[in-house]
Amino acid sequence: MPPDAPNDPFLELAELAGGFIHELKNHINTLSLNLQLLAEDLDPPETPRERRGFDRVKNLTDECRRLVELSNDFLRFARADHPQLAPADLDRVVSRMVDFLTPTARAQNVDIVWHCDPDLPPVPLDVDLFEKALLNLMLNAEDAMPDGGTLTLQARRDADRVVLDVIDTGCGMPPELAAKVFQPFVTTKANGTGLGLATARKIMIAHGGEIAVSSQPGCGSKFSVWLPVV
């Protein structure tokens, strides 16, 4: 059944959840704004009691920010399966993302290398959605290399599909984590929501593709994406 078919219970549930989260986010933003105003009233704190109150208000403001980030991640996850596909040049799309991320990568002593087979055929992409998924993979690779390293992206044709590999030389993952890394709310980051890779997987599947990971502790990770050719 197509995703916009009537009486699709999964679509109805996604729309209901998306509307609920959107409304909830509005209330959180209102709460956050009032907390910021309260923090301004208490700044600078003049007594120990005011200092404690000021610190608590700041902590609550930080929690509101995290809730908004989680809400945004959930909305992206809920809406990731409705791509508007059109033939696209994968080399051009990836090159743009490499150029975008190179300055921050250099600041972390990470070199980005991009290899693309010549005459790679076009692939059907929703460029905006695909770039969000690819950016998540690249940022995760950077995070896996806190002491620097090399982030390699390479694309090649494989029969009637195109394969894009995102490879890092970072800390890698144990098998038990790699086996569930695409599940929602699975994360090793202190401030992570665990929806980034789940959303990336959902986007790739909506493109008619696949995504998989191979990793070894201490030796880095490789995320491979398969996309159909036009």
In this prediction, residue 191 carries a pLDDT of 67
Q: Indicate whether 67 and 116 sit together in one domain.
A: no
In this prediction, residue 109 carries a pLDDT of 96
User: Does 1 map to a domain?
Assistant: no
Among 50, 78, 106, give the residue marking a domain's end.
78
In this prediction, residue 229 carries a pLDDT of 94
Q: Indicate whether 92 and 164 sit together in one domain.
A: yes
Question: How many whole angstroms from its chain centre is CA 158?
Answer: 26
Among 31, 62, 78, give the residue marking a domain's end.
78
In this prediction, residue 36 carries a pLDDT of 87
Give the CA angle between residues 11, 12, 14 to the nearest 5°: 65
User: Does 93 map to a domain?
Assistant: yes
User: Does 34 map to a domain?
Assistant: yes
Q: Which residues form the domain of 46?
A: 9-78
C-alpha–C-alpha distance, residues 182 and 196, integer Å:
8
User: Does 2 map to a domain?
Assistant: no
Long-range contacts of 26-32 (CB under 8 A, 24+ apart): 28/64, 28/67, 28/68, 28/71, 29/64, 29/68, 31/64, 32/61, 32/64, 32/65, 32/68
Find the DSSP H helices in 79-195. Answer: 90-107, 127-143, 175-178
Domain count, the chain: 2
In this prediction, residue 151 carries a pLDDT of 98
C-alpha–C-alpha distance, residues 125 and 205, integer Å:
12
DSSP-derived pairing of the beta strands 161-168 and 220-228 = antiparallel
CATH classification at residue 156: 3.30.565.10
Query: Could you tell me the end-to-end alpha-carbon distance of the chain, in angstroms, rounded to an integer?
Result: 22
pLDDT, tens digit only, all 230 positions of the chain: 334 444 545 445 556 666 677 677 788 888 888 888 888 888 888 889 888 998 999 889 888 888 887 777 776 676 666 788 999 999 999 999 999 999 999 999 999 999 999 999 999 999 988 998 999 999 999 999 999 999 999 999 999 999 999 999 999 999 999 999 998 878 777 666 678 898 899 899 999 999 999 999 999 999 999 999 98
Is the full-model pTM beyond 0.75? no
Among 18, 49, 78, give the residue marking a domain's end.
78
